[in-house]
Amino acid sequence: MRIDAHQHFWIYDPVRDSWITDEMSTIQRNFLPNDISQTLKDNRIDGVVAVQASESHQESYFLAELAQVYKLIKGVVGWVDLHSAHIDEYLEEFKKHEIIKGFRHVIEAEPHGDFLSSDEFLRGIEALTKYDYTYDLLIRPRHYASTLACVKANPNQKFMLDHIAKPPIKSQEFEEWALFIESLASFPNVFCKVSGLATEADWTNWRLDHFTQYIDHVIKSFGKDRVCFGSDWPVCLLAASYEQSIEIVQDKLKDFTNEELDKFWGLNAVKFYNLK
């Protein structure tokens, strides 16, 4: 099974979706499964993981409802208030929706670097472990230290690093990010999505070789059993078509065996998210 492990769907709301600035006008509209289904077929993608794009429990239910209509959605990464004293009640309720495999918070927007190491957040992660949910990490460099502390404190929690931690591809800076990747990859409970790369480059002037050192380092650090593909559609459209998003990654997999390619393009995501 070939899986795109990172897609977004939304009915555009200029207030709720204010993160989509005028610079990003290309995606200031609705995006639903019908808009991508033929493209997925053309690229032999069998299914997708739908990931939250706004922060409310309603978002989780919206994606779960979409999955009932569109069978191409094989799993949902929703949002839950991890800081809430009622986290167990929320997760009990979400357990009624088998399609919801895990949760994410847009940590990259949080100004405080210690966001992941607060007592409230750590209690929320412990609850996810208890209910067997995954957690997607969307971070920036200011969160590196607390990310490592959080992962170290939760060895039984399954973590997925989104967008290979958004390295500074546009400037081609490498060392700080690379050291963090090596440290994070040392924890066997962390997987990594090779996703969302074009939007970290120069949107209008990137080349395939701009991504090489970053993708190579992720594969070397995590190994071929803990990496998977994600397009970050439709956000990727700011800088690359769906086909270009595949090409950016495919170009770096020349030494993969057929079995390793099957894992990268789907089976690792199926294993991590327990997709059916």
Q: What are the pLDDT tens digits along the chain (276 aa)? A: 999 999 999 999 999 999 999 999 999 999 999 999 999 999 999 999 999 999 999 999 999 999 999 999 999 999 999 999 999 999 999 999 999 999 999 999 999 999 999 999 999 999 999 999 999 999 999 999 999 999 999 999 999 999 999 999 999 999 999 999 999 999 999 999 999 999 999 999 999 999 999 999 999 999 999 999 999 999 999 999 999 999 999 989 999 999 999 999 999 999 999 999
Q: Which domain holds residue 260?
A: 3-273
Tell me, what DSSP letter sits at residue 118? Answer: S
| SS3 per residue for 154-220 | CCCCCEEEHHHHCCCCCCCCCHHHHHHHHHHHCCCCEEEEECCCHHHCCCCCCCHHHHHHHHHHHHH
Cα–Cα distance list, 228 to 6, 22, 104, 215 (Å):
10, 31, 17, 11
Looking at the structure of the chain, the number of domains it has is 1
Q: What is the pTM of this model?
A: 0.97
